[in-house]
Structure 1
Amino acid sequence: MRRLLIPLMLALLALTASAAEPFTVELLFTHPYVTGTAPNNLAWSPNGQRLAFTWNEGGDRFRDLYLAEASGRIIRLSDLQDLPRDARAKDERTPDEIFDETDLDNGVSSPVWQRDGKTLWFAYRGDLFRVEAKAGARPERVFHTQEGEGHAAFSRDGRWMAYTADKDIFARETATGRTVQLTRDGSDDRRNGGGAYDTYLEGVFWAPDSRKLAFIQYDVTGFDKLLIPDYTGKKVEVTKQQREIAGGRLPGIKLGIVNPDSAWGLPLWVNLPDTAQYYIRSLDWSPDGSRLLLEVLPRTMQERFLLLADAATGKVDTVWHEADFAWIPDNMAQARFGPEGESVVFCSEASGWCHFYLLPLDGSGEPRQLTSGAWEVEKGWTTSYDRRSVFFTSSEESTAERHLYRLDLPAGSRSRLSDEPGWISSFALPEGGSKAAVIFGDMTRPYDLYLASGRAEKPLARLTHSPTAEFARYDWFPPEYIEIPTSDGKSFPAKLWLPRNGRKPAPLVVYIHGAGYAQNVDRAPWGWDDKYHRLLAQEGLAVVDIDYRGSSGYGRDWRVDIYRHTGGKDLDDAISAARYCVQQGWADSTRVGIWGWSYGGFLTNMAMFRAGDVFLVGCSVAAPNDWKNYNLWYTTQRFTFPEQDSAAYAQSSPITFAGGLQGDLLIVHGLQDDNVHAQDTIQLIDRLISLGKRFDMLLYPREDHGFQRDASDVHVFRSILEYLQEHLVDGGEVEAAAGE
């Protein structure tokens, strides 16, 4: 049945293609989005009967709080976009900055249920609000302070709500509103409950007995601040960012346990390793609240330790250790107690693929592998309330799909819970585990909220419809899915968007997805890049979107093939993609370009500098050009430290090879980028100037790493289209879709 459904749906889309309206840059990248704004921040009520989530049902940016009842009825619980803003005593902002405060407001976030199941709390504008979970209720702003509050979490018995405020931790008694302060040493440098760069965990973690909670204190005393200038005001202003770059140090870490009934007592500090140079990536309480399970990585990120901490004494024991000569990836950053707290569930790549293991805590043996095969468990898995089941998504069915599964820990058996071919991007499980809320998209439907069974494989039940009414007026044609051979005998998947005018061979653009360790080839082509590639195909370009070496979802060997040399085998894969498309007759070898954002921009620059005989045109956005400038954890994973392996940094950085530029290169960067600082682009263009190289450049003074303003999105995507048209397409004429 599944094999019949996809061709049928695609055929139905094809029937409407001739009457469909053309895509434009404005349509695809201006709010409200025609493809909708998918729900997120899923939170089940304590009894598992109702689901809270944030959403904008009209496709706009601002998210309000919604409630799905057991009947499937959707209720809107907030309408806060027009909430009056606090007056400023001395407001020196520009008109653009004042406009941005409202226009770029993403709305409410972080809903959490009070344990009575009648009230929801959520965060907005740095404060905590609450609202009754019923139609017609009005949200109440419980806190209204300059310091701001967040990370609200309720004790299991419902007596306390803990939260963070001004680098400290507080607890509010639910019945009386009485508040007690649980830590008193918070400051700009000492941050209780999170808020530091190069860290994983934030917030507070209640023990099941409701008597105590755990938190992490991060100490950044003496750390340098990176500067991000803003040139758009009357005077140049600077934002200071606490962040370490390659080879830097980690924040000092302390793990504390506090009791709201003994608020004046000092925290019990867990006896963590003496060195301050490590990450805590996972924390879980035992069912009886007597122990904490921690996953810890040293600064080198080549080892991991599973630790058990005694909640009464703070004593710590190591229960498991493993190492990887490259690095331990983030999709393994989770460990949980099993049934009765007598075992530990975790993921490992010991088999070459990320799979589940069960470790007995009585010392009776080694971890037992629970899943196996040439497929991967995705991060974000969770255990049921009784800890007898694990719910997870994986690529077992297909690397281009993600389905929901249930793993029975005592029996060691698993069952698939979703049937439709597509991609589950996230899910949430109520305490009973009888069902799950999932965010799902497929070949014909953009991402939306659905219900899945928690017990057996059944069709998904749709709860929301996010695409706007305009959606049906356009031909959302799908890509082709192909497998491309590599130069060293392997292969990788790709999405191929062929020009709608049927031209073969066509001008070709190789697209490089961002992040490096990510996956873009999926059977839910609704990302911003998928929408853009439909536009490029409409305008006569072929696009091949590749999961190059280092991408996630394809096992450990594929991941570490770029270790100590990015721009090596991943660049080879981009070259292989171009050559394969030429060999198949899809692409013109004299008209091949490449483009990408972030890591995609990095590899675009490497391609233009080192493979100018293949790539004639490049469009590089927000690219890291010298890895020594980039953040600590990312560079440590791939290159170790500059003082340890300077050659790895040099051979992996585009700035090293800038002299090789031959073709036409458009360099783009947002000057407010706090991820890949604009410094990387400034240093690269300085090098290109000194080498006498010609290039084109666009700077966006008010944009961050991912652009926020619709006008900037429209401008940058139109500019890239025009650049590709000018240099790859005959005549250089830009069609109407460019917005002219």
Structure 2
Amino acid sequence: MKHLYKFAFLTSIFFANNLHAQSLAPLTVEKIMRDPKTWIGTSPSDITWADDSKTVYFNWNPDKNPSDSLYAYSLASKKISKVAPADRRRMTGKNGIYNRSHSMRLYEKNGDLFIVNYKDFAIRQLTNTTERETNPAFSLNESAVIFERGNNLFSITLASGLISQFTDFKTGTKKQDGKPSEQEKFLKADQLSMSQVLKERKNKKDDGKKITDADKPARPKEIYLGEKNVSNQQLSPDGHYVTYRLTQADKSAKSTIVPNYVTESGFTEDIPARTKVGAPESESELWVYDVRKDTARKVATETIPGIYDKPDYLKDYPKQDSAGKKKERKVIFHGPFWSDNGQNAVIVIRSLDSKDRWIMSFDPATLSLRLLDRQRDEAWIGGPGVGGYPQSAGETGWLDDQTIYFQSEATGYSHLYAFNITSGKKTALTSGRFEVQNVVLSKDKKNFYLITNEVHPGEQHVYRMPATGGMRTRLTHTPGAHEMTLSPDEKNIAIRFSKSNAPWELYLLDNASVKNTQPVQLTRSVSPEFLSYPWREAKVVTIKATDGQPIYARVYEPKQSNGKAVIFVHGAGYLQNAHKWWSQYFREYMFHNLLTDKGYTVLDMDYRASSGYGRDWRTGIYRFMGGKDLTDHTDGAQWLVKTYGVDPKKIGIYGGSYGGFITLMALFTTPDVFTAGAALRPVTDWAAYNQSYTANILNEPQADSLAYRKSSPIYHAAGLKNNLLICHGMVDVNVHYQDVVRLAQRLIELGKNNWELASYPMEDHGFVEASSWTDEYKRILKLFEEKL
């Protein structure tokens, strides 16, 4: 036993010394680009609660298995355990729909429908079929469940189990029996007039058919869709109307193809991909089927206020601006959203050009629409809770049978509003120079749970606020970001929290206590090896832009500067990275620590169009990508020179996706500011990117060619003077490899010789192989070490 203790003691010393040695060992690209699961750890994710509110479930991987597993934290035992596969299969489905009193929850699991009773948490299976039942909802009196099967709408009566069908949608067109010719009509009439027996038999057959038809049960009307697709089928609470959306895809829209070179078959294989911006869009219509009258009618759009409005940018194209008669813009309908008493409905309508969002009351009997709220943005509608694309309805719900709530950027920041549909009174429930980023309404509809960034744009905190607005109670306090999952009984909140130098962990917050308690940490996911290095908490600063606006940024300060600096440009455009929580760019974060160890000053900016800063910042790149978003970075470079004494000839820039695009624009249009740049998976021509993202910002290329010419790097490639590295995955289905191939040809024709292209044959837009990450970042480091 004595020897055993001695061995354990020596072993602990060995591991302690080993960790100390690791902490002293310099960071390398090979080390930080390893599979994060094997050496950093895996944060808990996908947080859900058991129906009885006694257990929190989450995906986790503390054992470094090939994939995550389901774990559970018991509030009773205060212990975490792995959920066995058999227990996992018996669990209730996620999300679902509550009845009005929250005493039952309806959900779908594996294509079947279930209902859980919160009195005893008994589970009742409603369907067990090979077909898939989806989108369940309670009927108005909660005696039945409405659901979709195939393209059609059904109900199941909870007491008897009777299944009834409300719609009979069919693809194609109805086959019409051929109409008899005049000759056939004459011969039939002639035959019946000549033969009494023939006439009697026909009358007997007709009488029998009448009796048979009268005995048939009522069936829904056959509605033939042609080539259109049906979606969003809903039964009105009174059961009298079915609303549905029909979409007509434009078959002339040409899709792209991404070649895959490294395949199991040994042959090149094609990956079908998206269309390019400007391709014809699908037509969308809202229809109402009157169950009692057995008729279907389309909801007209010509009475929507502003439906004929043209966007302001057309003034730059006089021929387009004055061409032709007024034309209704294409729209997409969301809803209807019904009040609890089933008497009122609202519909959210988005224009496909993203300039308008209307919230309108809707009467299915008359098909009438009445405006409640209109948000118009000459750039594009967006922001938290609003939705950045026409396909999103945004945050919408009912506070009571007369009052809806929704989010809007009407003041320049996304805030929560209430609107009484009877009085027409609109009330701002929140206000200020911050964003409401997440909204949950309590089950009694007396409180909202909000996540906002009002403390600081780089922090996200949870608040509780009365549903009528007013004073908010702050529930979280530690600087960083908090994500919340409210328990069904609303007595606890599962919190995911992280800091800028510490990955996400799971916490539990007591929501029932009157005291303002701190969340209790449940998981510890990070490995000892990762913790052996003192990861920096980057300083969050503001830099004054040329136009006077404050730019939020993170700066990594070296202990001893080498006079060099690197600016990192985050991707996605509308994304935030100069914040106080764990970045999704964690590999880049570690790379910045490596650079800082070598003496570099590193700057990471939330440039124009980054999220978290309101409407004007979000739309600051409208019709000119590579404008203010680039000058923000050149302002950052000047700030580094003035503030940190960086050599202006030794500043590099790099980033991926949108960050790669900015890197190209920086080296092509401001070549004297940056000595070297690494453009990773960059967009080189916005006319080659997708519709949903690009058309919002630059409109469509055939309509606003000036915006695309200004914004696309390929048109500015002649300006390249300094050193450029391009890295791109060859099976990228987001920003296609074709983008950099076209740019490479352009650079060759321009006679440029200070660039290189590294291709990754098996990588998509987001790399997955550690070897690819390592190769890419070794090249980036080499570029900066040699050229700066």
Separation in 1, partners of 2:21, 2:463 = 36
Map of 1:227-238 to 2, 5 A cutoff?
227-233=257-263, 234-238=266-270
Check whether the contact 1:33–1:59 (CA below 8 A) recurs between aligned residues.
Answer: yes
Q: 1:308 aligns with which of 357, 361, 368?
A: 361
* 308 and 452 in structure 1: CA distance in 2 versus 1, 3 angstrom threshold: farther
Separation in 1, partners of 2:105, 2:423 = 44
Q: Aligned partner of 2:414: which letter?
A: C
Separation in 2, partners of 1:76, 1:511 = 39
1:260-309 CA-to-partner distances (Å, cap 9, x unmatched) read xx9xx999777363768224567744223454433222122111101233
Tell me whether 1:423 sits opposite 2:481 in the alignment: yes
| Structure 2 equivalent of residue 582 of structure 1 | 641
Tell me whether 1:296 sits opposite 2:349 in the alignment: yes
1:608-655 CA-to-partner distances (Å, cap 9, x unmatched) read 101110111111112111111222222222122223321111111111
Check whether the contact 1:38–1:447 (CA below 8 A) recurs between aligned residues.
Answer: yes
Deviation at residue 19 of structure 1 after TM alignment: 4.1
Tell me whether 1:321 sits opposite 2:350 in the alignment: no
Separation in 2, partners of 1:667, 1:673 = 14
* 336 and 174 in structure 1: CA distance in 2 versus 1, 3 angstrom threshold: same
Separation in 1, partners of 2:496, 2:360 = 33
Check whether the contact 2:608–2:628 (CA below 8 A) recurs between aligned residues.
Answer: yes
| Structure 1 equivalent of residue 507 of structure 2 | 450
Deviation at residue 592 of structure 1 after TM alignment: 0.8
Deviation at residue 567 of structure 1 after TM alignment: 0.7
Tell me whether 1:37 sits opposite 2:94 in the alignment: no
Q: 2:553 aligns with which of 491, 494, 504?
A: 494
* 648 and 282 in structure 1: CA distance in 2 versus 1, 3 angstrom threshold: farther
* 504 and 342 in structure 1: CA distance in 2 versus 1, 3 angstrom threshold: same
| Structure 2 equivalent of residue 28 of structure 1 | 32
| Structure 2 equivalent of residue 94 of structure 1 | none
| Structure 2 equivalent of residue 135 of structure 1 | none
* 466 and 161 in structure 1: CA distance in 2 versus 1, 3 angstrom threshold: farther
Q: Aligned partner of 1:396: which letter?
A: E
Identity of aligned residues (%): 29
| Structure 2 equivalent of residue 433 of structure 1 | 490
Q: Aligned partner of 1:661: which letter?
A: L
- Provide the secondary structure at the position in 2 that maps to 1:413: coil
Q: 1:472 aligns with which of 531, 553, 558?
A: 531
- Provide the secondary structure at the position in 2 that maps to 1:588: coil
Tell me whether 1:220 sits opposite 2:273 in the alignment: no
Check whether the contact 1:375–1:399 (CA below 8 A) recurs between aligned residues.
Answer: yes
| Structure 2 equivalent of residue 735 of structure 1 | none
- Provide the secondary structure at the position in 2 that maps to 1:687: helix
Higher RCO by CA contacts (8 Å cutoff, separation 6 or greater): 1
Separation in 1, partners of 2:25, 2:160 = 59
| Structure 2 equivalent of residue 621 of structure 1 | 680
Q: 2:608 aligns with which of 549, 552, 566?
A: 549
Check whether the contact 1:161–1:174 (CA below 8 A) recurs between aligned residues.
Answer: no
Q: 1:273 aligns with which of 297, 301, 321?
A: 301
Separation in 2, partners of 1:70, 1:190 = 50
1:96-134 CA-to-partner distances (Å, cap 9, x unmatched) read xxxxxxxxxxxx9984469899999767xxx889999xx
Check whether the contact 1:384–1:431 (CA below 8 A) recurs between aligned residues.
Answer: no
Deviation at residue 46 of structure 1 after TM alignment: 4.0
* 75 and 324 in structure 1: CA distance in 2 versus 1, 3 angstrom threshold: same
Tell me whether 1:558 sits opposite 2:617 in the alignment: yes
1:493-548 CA-to-partner distances (Å, cap 9, x unmatched) read 1111233xx33243211111111111111111343232332233234432100011
Check whether the contact 2:568–2:655 (CA below 8 A) recurs between aligned residues.
Answer: yes
Q: Aligned partner of 2:444: which letter?
A: D
1:555-606 CA-to-partner distances (Å, cap 9, x unmatched) read 2222222221111111111011111111123522221110011111110100
Separation in 2, partners of 1:417, 1:355 = 19
Q: Aligned partner of 1:273: which letter?
A: T
* 705 and 191 in structure 1: CA distance in 2 versus 1, 3 angstrom threshold: farther
Q: Aligned partner of 1:702: which letter?
A: M
Unaligned 5+ residue runs, structure 2? Answer: 1-18, 117-124, 173-225, 303-327, 388-393
Separation in 1, partners of 2:69, 2:335 = 30
| Structure 1 equivalent of residue 192 of structure 2 | none
Check whether the contact 2:277–2:700 (CA below 8 A) recurs between aligned residues.
Answer: yes
- Provide the secondary structure at the position in 1 that maps to 2:472: strand
Separation in 1, partners of 2:529, 2:152 = 48
Q: Aligned partner of 1:220: which letter?
A: A
Tell which structure's C-alpha radius of gyration is larger: 2
| Structure 2 equivalent of residue 388 of structure 1 | 446
Tell me whether 1:68 sits opposite 2:73 in the alignment: yes
Q: 1:691 aligns with which of 742, 750, 758?
A: 750
- Provide the secondary structure at the position in 1 that maps to 2:668: helix
Separation in 1, partners of 2:43, 2:153 = 32
Check whether the contact 1:46–1:117 (CA below 8 A) recurs between aligned residues.
Answer: no
Of 689-698 and 582-591, the range deviating more from structure 2: 582-591
- Provide the secondary structure at the position in 2 that maps to 1:658: helix
Q: TM-score, normalised on structure 1? A: 0.78
| Structure 1 equivalent of residue 310 of structure 2 | none
Q: Aligned partner of 2:380: which letter?
A: W
| Structure 1 equivalent of residue 190 of structure 2 | none
Separation in 2, partners of 1:23, 1:175 = 66
Q: 1:347 aligns with which of 391, 407, 413?
A: 407
Q: 1:640 aligns with which of 696, 699, 711?
A: 699
- Provide the secondary structure at the position in 1 that maps to 2:502: coil
Q: Aligned partner of 1:23: which letter?
A: L
* Count of residue pairs the alignment pairs up: 657
Q: Aligned partner of 2:442: which letter?
A: S
1:142-172 CA-to-partner distances (Å, cap 9, x unmatched) read 9998xx969775759697595787x888889
Check whether the contact 2:229–2:246 (CA below 8 A) recurs between aligned residues.
Answer: yes
- Provide the secondary structure at the position in 2 that maps to 1:587: coil
Check whether the contact 2:287–2:299 (CA below 8 A) recurs between aligned residues.
Answer: no
Q: Aligned partner of 1:655: which letter?
A: I
Q: Aligned partner of 1:43: which letter?
A: T
* 588 and 625 in structure 1: CA distance in 2 versus 1, 3 angstrom threshold: same
- Provide the secondary structure at the position in 2 that maps to 1:436: strand
| Structure 1 equivalent of residue 735 of structure 2 | 676
Separation in 2, partners of 1:485, 1:559 = 17
| Structure 1 equivalent of residue 564 of structure 2 | 507
| Structure 2 equivalent of residue 706 of structure 1 | 766
* 487 and 463 in structure 1: CA distance in 2 versus 1, 3 angstrom threshold: same
Q: Aligned partner of 1:563: which letter?
A: Y
Q: Over aligned residue pairs, what C-alpha RMSD do you find?
A: 4.1
Q: TM-score, normalised on structure 2? A: 0.73
* 437 and 313 in structure 1: CA distance in 2 versus 1, 3 angstrom threshold: farther
Separation in 1, partners of 2:143, 2:543 = 55
Check whether the contact 1:41–1:109 (CA below 8 A) recurs between aligned residues.
Answer: no
* 17 and 521 in structure 1: CA distance in 2 versus 1, 3 angstrom threshold: farther
Deviation at residue 420 of structure 1 after TM alignment: 1.4
Check whether the contact 2:108–2:136 (CA below 8 A) recurs between aligned residues.
Answer: no
Separation in 1, partners of 2:334, 2:673 = 42
Tell me whether 1:245 sits opposite 2:276 in the alignment: yes
Deviation at residue 398 of structure 1 after TM alignment: 0.6
Q: 1:359 aligns with which of 415, 419, 424?
A: 419
Separation in 2, partners of 1:62, 1:211 = 48
1:192-229 CA-to-partner distances (Å, cap 9, x unmatched) read 55xxxxxxxxx888989999998755442413322122
Separation in 1, partners of 2:92, 2:560 = 47
Separation in 2, partners of 1:399, 1:143 = 49
Q: 2:459 aligns with which of 388, 401, 407?
A: 401
* 315 and 114 in structure 1: CA distance in 2 versus 1, 3 angstrom threshold: closer
Unaligned 5+ residue runs, structure 1? Answer: 1-14, 84-107, 133-139, 194-202, 729-740
* 543 and 361 in structure 1: CA distance in 2 versus 1, 3 angstrom threshold: same
Deviation at residue 77 of structure 1 after TM alignment: 3.1
